[in-house]
Structure 1
């Protein structure tokens, strides 16, 4: 030291003062050891001299140096209210080992100083809160010596901290720095964990921190920084983690709105070890970045996780420049360099190791993927690995992959879209890799037993131990080299309509393992070969060990695999169906017809949708093809004819003339005593009578489970007119005309039929003593339209034709007894109807024409006998003649023809015969009716009848008007 300096020091001696306050007021002279207030030339010690801590609540407090601390309970200083403390040299809190000191600046207080040491050798704390302000122009340190423990806390809105030189948190001891609850802090430069053995921690929560220099986390010791709660941190320079060998630094950014912005470079693991976690929507903005950057022993990792979490860099991000580095992006986190135009470099120099994980690290439980928004992913000359271990189902990589290293795919579905120039190897050990761009430059691709590769791009020489599935349902995958299929490998080939998956191999293909054929919906053709693989260098006589055609194809489709010297071909064929459809009889008949057609060389491609069903669904499909609804047409003819015949042979026919002339109903019905005498007072019976009737019915016939016929519902309605001509007493002849319509439908959506019906008939009745005889014949024309759908083929089919029907009925009854107006008569009848329909081809009315039938010409006869009894009643109502009857009969059917012969359009030899729902063999006929004479010449009547059996029921009704002349 120079003489001038010594003289200067001698001229300005430092006065030592000790706090001995009897009160807390700093500004009371008696509280100081010298009895005077400290000045800017005073070295002040606030220690064990008094148990009362000083309080500054007014401006003007000044010292040169300040030491706060004492052993035991320690000592403290508070600057509050409008108090202002100025220290012109070092302020030390917790100066000596074992001392404890604290300082608080609060409630508007202010401390202006130069240097500040908190926890020099002892323990110290410095707290700024509730609007307080602390300003230091020189270095600030916490935890200076190894024994020192110091902490600085800045908390609360309106609270501020300003440091104009440098801030070391944990110099050689332990230091903490907290900026909390809306406070603002500013530092010239910051180091956490300065020397080896030091520990420095910084926490920023819901606050703002500006650093006018570099932020160094873990220079030679350990540094940890946590920024959360929407805090904002800015640095005007670089950020380093793990600066020196042995230095360890960690940085966590967490929460939406939390941001760290570094204007310069960010080095994670510069020469030591660094770790950065960006989570839950936080953002890190920086210039270029490097992980494991400066020394061979450096290590670093960066993880960006959670939706909206981001690393936003410029230029490039190096993952492993000289040391060991790892980058993980998962669960929606993103790394973006130059808004997608930048470079991600992995293991940038020889000797370095770099790994980038999309999702989770290799071997770990897969996580949702994060995003790499870069234009190029470069695997450098070091040990470079790119790992895909995620759970996404469509993770797209648009960046070019270049360089040389290893790419590993363990989980998830990843789509590589770029024209890559990467020359290293790729291993797909799990998940699905979709090659949409070019991988041809890769040295090789190996698909492990748990992995799958697909797409329509280009591959290099490829070894498949797992699964290869080209295309995007379907498509072509090109192998620029050789293809080797392992013994446990699988080639999944999707076939859709006229196209199929395909692998083109420029070299050789060695086949083994399983070929699995998968069907996708489409328009197919039998007999057309699909090329599933073609190898320019040949197959070398190799074959797939197993062919699995169960994935998607139905029970009726066969896949015939063939090999040539260079190609793998598969041709679809129609399997015989009769063996699959052994019942019911109708379904079997249709299946057998198809088999005959196919055996004869017919092409059933139009019925592919039928053949592609599982075996259990085949019988129902055969029923859709059968056209059973056509069997409803003769049933409509029989129902119409039956009602028309009975309308002509009205149960009151024998009494028409007497009812018309005013006699009691059935008064001329023969009795056991013979014919009644003509009453001379009665006028002669009218010569003729005209009548009109409306009749209809609704019924249901159940099908046969053995036959496989469907339940049929049938409804019809008709109007008829007729005329009676009396040619002799008790004998009449007549004719009638009828018009109406009928509708029928089959259960299960098997079709509908409707018809407009015209009928004409002749009839006659006579009485021979107690015996009544009647007969009627009819002729009907049905203009019929039949519609049905084959939903499995998308077909809606129709046909229109004319069916004619001849019908006849004979009936007899005999009055055996009468008493009190009642008459009992047994009765018997025979009835037959023949319906004839022409051959007709169905046509399409909406949709495809597949499944259309050519229906054969047919004649269906239904005949039955009836035996029963009828109870008649004759009386008067209000002076008008009233007649009624009840009838019960047993009907026995002899002929119940309901067959249909048909063949499928375009399939020669496909003819078959099926049966529809038949009339029951035996049934009960029940009927009741009333006639009422309204005047001398007008009679009205109503009738109700039904047919009941265990498999069918029908209910009909009739209303009648008769006018006599």
Structure 2
């Protein structure tokens, strides 16, 4: 009934057997309902209100039902001296019912359909048999069994809440065990007896949060756990996580594993992902901001832009070594002085006549004037140098295109200690800049110092140089994976270089007076990077990195030939020179070791754009020497491979 009955000693008096009463309204009476015969059923629906005693015959059914809605029933109202007396069978057959209070009988309960939310104590029941519907709540039940198609969802529906089973629990095949999970906890069942699991499915629902834990306890049984769950179905599982179930003697666990396995991740992305996964799997938790990174987010988080300082430094040191040792520069020789052609050919003043007014006469002088008296002397020179280099990234490694630029000015002095031997030193200052495609930039102030020596024996020469470089480096990058975070690092670094070169110049009759100098050279540069850390300029420090110290050495060999041709012009000699060579770098990789500052131990190695091991070198040079001892030279240099294009130049240089 959905109306109301009241005002009588008996609200309803049912004298027969098999009587069914359905109440969604109000029944009032001293004895609200009295059943006379057996096998009667009273079904309460949400909205039911009964005032007065309800007297059953001893084998009657009390049902909590209804097609929809929410109802509340007080378990303490059942008992021989309570409101509901004489019922032997209790069932939930529909709607959503919350039961409170304490059940005082031993008669079993059956959940057929609907939802039973236990907020009170139902542990006195000899058995709770869940054959359908869903059992949930934070109260206490006794020994229970969950059958196929039924759902056991301990807790209130909020992660971290639980239901107590005061007895044994049996989860049959086809049943569903449902848990709610947030970053810190899962809902679970606590069983005082044993838990028997027979392939029951686990349905896990994940609530949004900012942090994820690795392991969640979803069931604990003091008497032990036997059997295992079957399938595990996850809803709203955070990106990049995978799940599994595990057990010990008394517990069942749901485990999360962080694994960045998106198709097509490149090497750098996978390295960052592996570092985050290792941190999570080792520490047991991680902020969700890291675990949800996309492929693009992993690239930004990698901090690849830090590798740009390495190539900029190698280029700067190589160019400075070229200023010190390049025979095209011809330092130490005034007009008509020694090595007027390449800077190393052993000639006297008269030999400058190779710069004949007629090309056919070049290098054709076979008679020489008496040697001039040797006078030791100093020469001072100034040179500007600079250039840019672009290197393509590698899609498999995940490196990005990198560009570096260098500009510097060198001032040096030579001392000619013998007709064939020159010593010198130089100081240089300038700067570098570099950028990694859309990932960050950097710049540095540069100081360099070097010393060199060269010696000639007839047409042969050998030269050697050592140099030191110091930089004050600043890097900047912006991470937009979660907001806009600007990160900066500032540190000092040192570099060391050395070069040894030898060659032999000859002029063959068929060259038309062009000097040809085959040469070979070996060079190394060592770059010592300190450990340093980024700081936050704006935004959050989530992706700020700490970089480990690193010392990287790149040995390099060159094999090629130089050419020169000189012409007498008014007041001096004009010399044109070229170079064609092959260079091999033995360590062209550029990488950095980084650790997330907020995740100690989450370390990885990121690869920057690497040079090709082999490259072609080209040079074109023009030098003018005047009779008054002044000279000027300009040189263009190129270095090319399938992934690298480098352009450099030595600016106007004066020597006196």
Please classify the TM superposition score into its range, dividing by the shorter chain length. Answer: 0.5 to 0.7
Deviation at 1:712, TM superposition (A): 5.6
Describe the SS at the equivalent of 1:488: coil
Q: Is 1:946 matched up with 2:635?
A: no
Displacement of 1:926 in angstroms is 1.8
- What corresponds to 1:474 in structure 2? 159
Cα deviation digits, residues 385-421 of structure 1 (max 9, x gap):
64349xxxxxxx7x86899997635xxxx9x8x8879
Correspondence 1:960 to 2:636: no
Alpha-carbon distance in 2 for matches of 1:478, 1:657: 96
Partner of 1:888: 580
Q: 1:515/1:719 Cα in 2 relative to 1: closer, same or farther (>3 Å)?
A: same
For 2:202, the equivalent position in structure 1 comes to 515
Q: 1:446 to 1:689 in 2, by over 3 A?
A: same
Q: Does residue 532 of the first structure (1) align with residue 218 of the second (2)?
A: yes
Does 1:493 find its partner at 2:179? yes
Aligned-residue offset at 1:864: 1.2
1:346 aligns with 2:16: no
1:793, 1:850 within 8 Å by CA — same for their partners in 2? no
- Aligned-partner Cα distance in 2 for 1:924–1:905: 42
**Is the Cα–Cα contact under 8 Å of residues 648 and 763 in structure 1 kept in the other structure?**
yes
| 3-state SS of 1:892 partner | strand
Q: Provide structure 2 residue ranges, at least 5 long, that are not aligned to the other structure.
A: 6-22, 29-45, 55-61, 78-83, 85-90, 104-108, 343-350, 355-361
TM-score (norm 2): 0.62
Q: CA RMSD in A?
A: 6.3
**1:603 and 1:907 in contact (8 A); partners too:** no
Q: Which residue of 2 aligns with 1:710?
A: 399
Identify which of 43, 67, 84 aligns with 1:387. 67
Match runs of 1:178-217 below 5 Å: none
Q: 1:829-908 alignment to 2 at 5 Å?
A: 829-837=520-528, 840=531, 847-848=541-542, 854-855=548-549, 858-870=551-563, 872=565, 874=567, 883-894=575-586, 896=588
Residue 48 of structure 2 corresponds to residue 378 of structure 1: yes
2:493–2:528 Cα contact (<8 Å) kept:
yes
Q: 2:424 aligns with which of 734, 737, 740?
A: 734
Match of 2:414 in 1: 725
d(CA) in 2 for partners of 1:897, 1:669: 48
After superposition, the C-alpha distances for 1:779-837 in whole angstroms (9 at most, x for unaligned) are 22344567889999999796845333132242536252699997343342313123152
Q: SS at 1:828's partner residue? A: strand
Write out per-residue CA displacement over residues 421-468 of structure 1, whole angstroms, 9 at most, x where no aligned residue: 999987656xxx796x9587999998777x6676x6658778563444
1:699 aligns with 2:390: yes
Matched, 1:561 2:240: no
Higher relative contact order (Cα pairs below 8 Å, separated by 6+ residues): 2
SS at match of 2:94: strand
Residue 777, structure 1, aligned to residue 462, structure 2: no
**Alignment partner of 1:758 is 2:442:** no
Moved more, 689-698 or 907-916: 907-916
Bigger Rg, structure 1 or 2: 1
For residue 638 of structure 1, give the secondary structure of its aligned residue in structure 2. Answer: helix
Where 1:757 maps in the other structure, the secondary structure is: strand
CA gap of 1:654–1:401, structure 2 versus 1, over 3 A, is same
Q: 1:497: Cα distance to partner?
A: 3.3
Residue matched to 2:516: 825
Counterpart-to-counterpart distance in 1, 2:608 and 2:332: 40
Are the counterparts in 2 of residues 797 and 844 from structure 1 also a CA contact under 8 Å? Answer: yes
Whether the 8 Å CA contact 2:589–2:609 is kept in 1: the answer is no
Q: Which region of structure 1 is more displaced relative to structure 2, 937-946 or 883-892?
A: 937-946
Deviations 1:633-671 (A, max 9, x none): 55333211111111234554227755799xx99894966
Distance 1:645 1:446 in 2: 87
Change (3 A) 1:930 1:472: farther
Match of 1:302 in 2: none
Q: Report the secondary structure of 2:651's partner residue.
A: strand
Contact kept, 8 Å, 1:701 with 1:953, in 2: the verdict is no
Determine helix, strand or coil for the equivalent of 1:640: helix
2: CA distance, partners of 1:738 / 1:505: 78
Q: Does 1:545 align with 2:545?
A: no
Q: Whole-Å Cα distance in 2 between the matches of residues 719 and 471 of structure 1?
A: 71
Mapping 1:83-162, distance limit 5 Å? none
Q: How many residues align?
A: 557
CA distance in 2, matches of 1:657, 1:718: 26
Residue 408 of structure 1 aligns to a residue whose secondary structure is coil
Is this contact kept in 1: 2:593–2:606, CA < 8 A? yes
CA pair 800-791 structure 1, distance change in 2 beyond 3 A: farther
Specify which of 559, 570, 594 is matched with residue 253 of structure 2.
570
Contact 2:120 2:140 in 1 (8 A): yes
In structure 1, the gaps of 5 or more residues are: 1-289, 295-344, 351-375, 390-396
The 1:379/1:874 distance shift into structure 2, 3 A limit, reads farther
Q: CA deviation at 1:740?
A: 3.1
Task: Provide TM-score, normalisation by structure 1.
Answer: 0.45
Distance in 2 (CA, whole Å) between partners of 1:909 and 1:347 is: 65
